[in-house]
Amino acid sequence: MLDLKEIIANEIQKVTNVETIYDYIEVPANKEMGDFSLPCFKLAKELKKAPQIIATEIKDKLNIPDNIVLETKVVNGYLNFYLNPMLIAKTVLEEFEDKKEKYGSSDIGKGQTVVIDYSSPNIAKPFHIGHLRSTVIGNSLHNIYKFLGYNVVGINHLGDYGTQFGKLIEGYKRWGSEYDIEHNPIDELTKIYIRINNLCKEDESVLEACRNNFKKLEDGDEYCTKLWQKFRDLSLKEFQKVYDLLDVHFDSSNGEAFYSDKMPEIVQILEKTGKLVESEGARVINLDEYNIPPCIIEKTNGSTTYATRDLAAIMYRARTYNYDKALYVTSYEQNLHFKQVFETAKLLGIDKKYTDGLEHIPFGMVQLKTGKMSTREGNIIKLEELLNEAITRASKIIEEKNSNLENKEEVAKKVGIGAVIFNDLYNSRIKDEIFDWDIMLNFNGETGPYLQYMYVRTNSVLEKANKVPNIQNVKIELLKDNASIYLIKEMYNFENIVKQSAEKNEPYIISRYLINIAKAFSSFYNDNKIICDDVDIQNARVYLTYCTNVILKTGASLLGIQMPNKM
């Protein structure tokens, strides 16, 4: 696509000799302030002048043809650019005709691999709403990077190892016959876990037995391994129900246990560095120079830690995928853990490319109104229950508003689950969420259902038009009213929005953008009669409706939301 920002930046660079102009130019939040704006405060130090003077001098020296920029204005140290709307319209529609469903995509990721570690629930524990964020954020990033031409590897790094399995094994040894884990595995295993955890609090010897069980598991004890495999298989079967509802897929489900035979190599490498030292009976990497606590590699009883397994995973992924980026989508509670692991990874002797590519993508916690959720305390909301409740509520609304709708169950599923996903991705990922049914499943305002409704409206228009006109029959100059121009300008930004979302690893940038597109189309729809007697006007407006339709569907798919054709 013709990069109008680059054209403007190059012209400014000629008169300022500043090479970073492109990065300084921004899109004003207020459309009254133009299509692009250069905040000259950023140039004040470099050019040793007041921002207002810099803006005025640049404006006077610039020589950009008016077929590109109609007007430039200086406002309080900002240099604002008002583009030729017909040039934008021509650029958008021609690019759209060329790319269709790929509009907004690019090949900036060509030849690069991104590994994304997300979802990662714990085996034998409920898949609760606390896991929703990692799952939908990670899935969206997977879609976004792929859309930008990257080779993407999605990994479900299952929590299938650790002391909690020592606890479960101990609980099952004691009370297994009391629980029906075959028919209701997660609930029954959770009951065992809560019960044994309470006993551990009362009796230190029981906790020690649990730790020893995990050590036996690490050492390949037949009974412990067989029991662990049973817990894992039953859990995965239950988890798949949630993944099917969310339409989430992975390229690998290698969990922590997969790395059990790969950890000895990690320990050996760290030993050779001379930096693996004993501390209170454990073996650690001292990280005082980075002002963070030591990274524990082996516990006092010789068993491994999350960190050891993460280090083994880094080594394996570097060798297997030759990644350029490795993203870890987990809560901000794990910030310290990843700082420790990433610093320790520099001692593994792998190429700097791999350690430089490590990035933690933190997100805020989901909490109940009553406080933090805890499996140990039995204080959780299961994700499958949440999704099914969303579908049920959507179904009731559809029954009230359009009881004759075909495929009501399928539509209710798309609307209900879409509402949950969009609600989660509408704000910056770092923001904490207080779980509230009414907010989560609100079908009014800036929500997933609103987005889907506007998409359905575009479908309705296209159905009435009977066909999408050929671009050769579209007279772009007829799209000159304010609502049409505003909608086209929003469309022009789509590719840049997707790139920004990847650069910042923030799906909410796309969510907000899609709401803007939906609102812009609503204004266009209200201000213009699309199906009309004038064939040329109808062709232009129908084609613009078609562009909106595709962008809404494409953008929603990047978030992991499916669009119903009717509502």
Token representation of residue 452? 């889907």
Q: Both 516 and 388 in a single domain?
A: yes
Instruction: Give the residue from 276, 277, 260 showing the smallest Cα distance to 268.
Output: 276
Quick one: which H or E segment has residue 70?
strand 69-75
- Phi and psi (nearest 5°) for 182? -70, -40
Q: What local confidence, expressed as pLDDT, does residue 91 receive?
A: 94
Decide if 491 is inside a domain. yes
Query: Is the separation of the CB atoms in 120 and 157 below 8 Å?
Result: yes
Burial pattern 526-554, b for ≥16 Cβ within 10 A else e, equals eebebeeeeeebbbbbbbbbbbbbbbbbb
Quote the longest CA-to-CA distance of the chain: 85
Least-confidence region, from 355-369, 428-442, 485-499: 428-442
Least-confidence region, from 24-38, 456-470, 481-495: 24-38
**Residue 371 β-bridge partners:** 368
Q: Both 67 and 181 in a single domain?
A: no
Q: What local confidence, expressed as pLDDT, does residue 437 receive?
A: 64
- pTM beyond cutoff 0.85: yes
Q: How many C-beta neighbours within 10 Å does residue 181 have? A: 19
DSSP secondary structure of 294-317? -EEEE-TTS-B-HHHHHHHHHHHH
Cα separation, 134 vs 333, in Å, equals 13
The β-bridge relationship of strands 282-285 and 36-39 is unpaired
Q: How many C-beta neighbours within 10 Å does residue 77 have? A: 19
- Match 């709403």 to its residue by tokens: 129
Q: What is the DSSP letter of 382?
A: B
Instruction: Give the residue from 84, 66, 64, 87 showing the smallest Cα distance to 7.
Output: 64
Decide if 323 is inside a domain. yes
CA distances from 176 to 62, 210, 227 (A): 79, 15, 11
Instruction: Give the residue from 141, 124, 33 showing the smallest Cα distance to 79.
Output: 33
Q: Both 252 and 320 in a single domain?
A: yes
Q: Both 154 and 195 in a single domain?
A: yes
Q: Both 129 and 78 in a single domain?
A: no
Q: What local confidence, expressed as pLDDT, does residue 155 receive?
A: 98
Domain count, the chain: 3
Asked whether the predicted pLDDT for residue 378 surpasses 60, the reply is: no
Q: Both 290 and 177 in a single domain?
A: yes
Average pLDDT (118-139) is: 90
Least-confidence region, from 87-101, 239-253, 290-304, 422-436: 422-436
Last residue of one domain, picked from the residues 310, 343, 367: 367
Cα separation, 506 vs 502, in Å, equals 7
Decide if 546 is inside a domain. yes
Decide if 488 is inside a domain. yes
Average pLDDT (14-39) is: 91
CA distances from 50 to 33, 38, 47, 53, 54 (A): 20, 14, 9, 5, 6
Sequence-distant (≥ 6) Cβ neighbours of residue 316 within 8 angstroms: 259, 262
Token representation of residue 441? 């499943």
Quick one: which H or E segment has residue 85?
helix 85-99
Quick one: which H or E segment has residue 453?
helix 448-465
The β-bridge relationship of strands 151-155 and 113-117 is parallel
The β-bridge relationship of strands 366-367 and 433-434 is parallel
Cα separation, 228 vs 252, in Å, equals 20
Sequence-distant (≥ 6) Cβ neighbours of residue 532 within 8 angstroms: 538, 541
- Match 């879409």 to its residue by tokens: 418
pLDDT tier at 218, thresholds 50, 70, 90? confident
The domain that holds 14 is classified in CATH as: 3.30.1360.70
Asked whether the predicted pLDDT for residue 372 surpasses 70, the reply is: no
Q: What local confidence, expressed as pLDDT, does residue 272 receive?
A: 96
**Residue 325 β-bridge partners:** 114
The domain that holds 188 is classified in CATH as: 3.40.50.620
CA angle (281, 282, 287) in 5-degree steps: 125
Sequence-distant (≥ 6) Cβ neighbours of residue 319 within 8 angstroms: none
Q: Both 152 and 271 in a single domain?
A: yes
The domain that holds 460 is classified in CATH as: 1.10.730.10
CA distances from 7 to 57, 69, 73, 166, 302 (A): 19, 10, 17, 63, 62
Q: Both 343 and 397 in a single domain?
A: no
Asked whether the predicted pLDDT for residue 373 surpasses 60, the reply is: no
Decide if 489 is inside a domain. yes
Look at residue 174 and give its three-state secondary structure. Answer: helix
Asked whether the predicted pLDDT for residue 557 surpasses 60, the reply is: yes
DSSP secondary structure of 231-270? HHHHHHHHHHHHHHHHT---SB---GGGGTTTHHHHHHHH
Look at residue 287 and give its three-state secondary structure. Answer: coil
Q: Both 351 and 409 in a single domain?
A: no
Decide if 180 is inside a domain. yes
Start-to-end Cα distance in the chain: 34
pLDDT tier at 375, thresholds 50, 70, 90? low
Q: Both 340 and 488 in a single domain?
A: no
Last residue of one domain, picked from the residues 83, 105, 135: 83
Average pLDDT (250-278) is: 94
Q: What local confidence, expressed as pLDDT, does residue 267 receive?
A: 95
Asked whether the predicted pLDDT for residue 79 surpasses 80, the reply is: yes
Q: Both 173 and 220 in a single domain?
A: yes
Average pLDDT (361-386) is: 74
Q: What local confidence, expressed as pLDDT, does residue 419 receive?
A: 92
pLDDT tier at 11, thresholds 50, 70, 90? very high
Cα separation, 346 vs 79, in Å, equals 45
Quick one: which H or E segment has residue 52?
helix 51-61
Decide if 107 is inside a domain. no
Cα separation, 181 vs 234, in Å, equals 8
Asked whether the predicted pLDDT for residue 283 surpasses 90, the reply is: yes
Token representation of residue 302? 């010789």
Average pLDDT (490-498) is: 96
Average pLDDT (287-308) is: 92
What is the percent of the chain where pLDDT is above 70?
Answer: 96
Dump pLDDT digits (tens) for 416-463: 999 999 999 999 999 887 767 676 666 678 899 999 999 999 999 999
Least-confidence region, from 443-447, 509-513, 529-533, 539-543: 443-447
Average pLDDT (159-168) is: 89
Q: Both 62 and 205 in a single domain?
A: no
Q: Which domain holds residue 132?
A: 113-367
Decide if 92 is inside a domain. no
Asked whether the predicted pLDDT for residue 320 surpasses 90, the reply is: yes
Query: Is the separation of the CB atoms in 83 and 478 below 8 Å?
Result: no
Asked whether the predicted pLDDT for residue 494 surpasses 70, the reply is: yes
- Match 């009213």 to its residue by tokens: 481
Question: Taken in order 289, 293, 298, 301, is the CA torsion positive or negative?
Answer: positive
Q: What local confidence, expressed as pLDDT, does residue 130 receive?
A: 78
pLDDT tier at 379, thresholds 50, 70, 90? low
Last residue of one domain, picked from the residues 335, 367, 399: 367
